[in-house]
Amino acid sequence: MRVAVASGKGGTGKTTVAVNLAYFNGIDLFDLDVEEPNCHIFFRGESREEAVFRKVPKIEEDKCNFCGICRDVCEFNAIVVLKDKAYTFPELCHSCGACSYFCPKGAIVEVNKRIGKVVEVRSNVRLTYGVLEIGEAQPTPLMRAVKRRMGRKAIIDCPPGASCPLVESVLDADFCILVCEPTPFSYHDLKLVMEVMRKIGKPFGVVINKYGLPFDIESKVDAPILGRIPFKREIAEKYSKGELLTEYEEVFGEIYDRVREL
Ligand code: SF4
Ligand code: SF4
């Protein structure tokens, strides 16, 4: 079973749930928050890295007749062709290959652009995560490179938000845990993520972090409650030091059991 851990709003405790679920249930962990990975803070150990690239076009102007076909077929405005000059914008390119396919002069070659790296750590659990290159606008190709290393049993730490990176990270999951906290902001974002889950047909349940704060989120949530993590200063302190919540092993065991039941 692959279980994704997501939350609309950042800082709700998504990573706390993901790292402790992986550790206490002995499951491989995949951090798909490639723009800001942080699961590795909890699992130090021997690591190995592999660079990840994607293809972007390079125009060889000595072969080009500046017809503009490549510009016209590009859905992402990643090519500009002037009277006697052609420019490519790799940051906008989605590596679809249409420009080189349709170029009548064979003037476009595809070159590698480094987009980041995948790191594997052997620690208490096996952790795999991606680190996006600074300035790279598209996280999904690197997320896919991390996902290619995923087996049938995995915990996935998803990026925050409710847009494309979230959808990409939950696509291969069998179940999604949505982490929220009892605040109006968190409830607002939780509703957006629940809507996304329903639209893509992904089964999900909710974990309430910082349980005990005065805002009543529980009676408003129209989904199974998988667990509650209490609002305690010691939990925040442990998180800030990169420590696992050893006193709460039972809580994370019960969350995973509940996911299995569902
Ligand atoms: S399609 Fe080929 S020949 Fe035409 S402008 Fe683009 S690179 Fe040049
Ligand atoms: S590969 Fe696709 S997205 Fe990239 S420049 Fe060519 S047509 Fe545009």
Q: Give the type of residue at 165.
A: P
For the stretch 180-212, pLDDT in tens is 999 999 999 999 999 999 999 999 999 999 998
Residue nearest to atom 6 of ligand 2 (CA): 99
Rounded distance from Cα 129 to ligand 2 centre (Å): 27
DSSP string, 183-195: SHHHHHHHHHHHH
Tell whether ligand 1 has an atom less than 6 A from the beta carbon of residue 74.
no
The answer on 198 and 252 residing in a single domain is yes
The C-alpha R_g of the chain, in whole angstroms, comes to 22
Helix, strand, coil fractions of the chain, as percent rounded to 5: 30, 30, 40
The answer on 162 and 38 residing in a single domain is yes
- From 82, 113, 144, the end of a domain falls on 113
Number of structural domains the chain divides into: 2
For the stretch 237-249, pLDDT in tens is 998 888 989 888 8
**How much is the pTM?**
0.89
For the stretch 14-61, pLDDT in tens is 999 999 999 999 999 999 999 999 999 999 889 999 999 999 999 999
Rounded distance from Cα 65 to ligand 1 centre (Å): 6
Contacts of 199 (CB under 8 A, 6+ apart): none
From the list 131, 129, 181, the residue with the least C-alpha distance to 154 is: 129
Q: Kindly identify the ligand whose nearest atom is closest to the C-alpha of 103.
A: 1
The answer on 227 and 139 residing in a single domain is yes
Q: Is residue 118 part of a domain?
A: no
Tell whether ligand 1 has an atom less than 6 A from the beta carbon of residue 67.
yes
- The bridge status of strand 46-59 relative to strand 108-122 is antiparallel
Q: Is residue 197 part of a domain?
A: yes
Residue nearest to atom 2 of ligand 1 (CA): 103
Tell whether ligand 1 has an atom less than 6 A from the beta carbon of residue 66.
yes
At residue 8, the pLDDT reads 78
Give the angle subtended at the CA of 240 by the CAs of 20 and 121, to the nearest 5°.
50
Tell whether ligand 1 has an atom less than 6 A from the beta carbon of residue 69.
yes
